[in-house]
Amino acid sequence: MGAVVAEVMEVSSPFSGPDRPSGGPPRLPTPPSGWPIGSYSRYEEAQRAVDHLADNDFPVEDVTIVGVDLMLVERVTGRLTWGRVLGTGAASGAWFGLFVGVLLSLFTSGPGPAFGPILVGLVTGVVFGIVFAAAGYASARGVRDFSSASQLVAGRYDVLCQPRNAERGRDMLARLAMRPPSEGGTTG
């Protein structure tokens, strides 16, 4: 007799396929999909909208928050001086040296605590931290005499939803937008 061969048909959607395990986030960078159900000027507002949907038993696994018009904002936090550079280098080196010293002390045999390797690691870390910080700052030759913190910010945040629930989500967010501010936003 002949063998029976069963054929398996795989059904895919924008939320499954080779780049995305079933029900999980995509493994590779992919553009967002879905219909816009809300647009907000601040991330906190978009987060509040999704929280409102979640509090009202909406299937939030169909929702994506997308930052649009991305900007890299660099906020200057202070001026760099030799004292600040050397102090930061010493502190950074001290932490690394302390870590290495503790590791070395774990393998030191003998009675009692082994503070020698910790102290040697700490001092060596401080010295190397100062040397490397000074070398880096000197090689910049005054080109960048300030410290800063960078942040990626969007001009607006769109809330997208898969088509099967988009109309319901849009209606829920429209009702949220019509509430007086004193009601706080979410239920539950």
Q: Mean per-residue pLDDT for 114-137?
A: 93
pLDDT digits (tens, 9 = 90+) for 52-62: 999 999 999 99
Closest CA to 36 of 143, 145, 174, 147: 174
Task: Say how many CA atoms lie within 13 Å of 113 toward its Cβ.
Answer: 5
- Residue 116, pLDDT above cutoff 70: yes
Which residues make Cβ contacts (< 8 Å) with residue 96, sequence separation at least 6? 125, 129
With tokens 């800063």, the residue in question is 148
Please tell me whether the overall predicted TM-score, pTM, comes out greater than 0.75 for this model.
no
What gap in Å lies between CA 18 and CA 11, rounded to an integer? Answer: 12
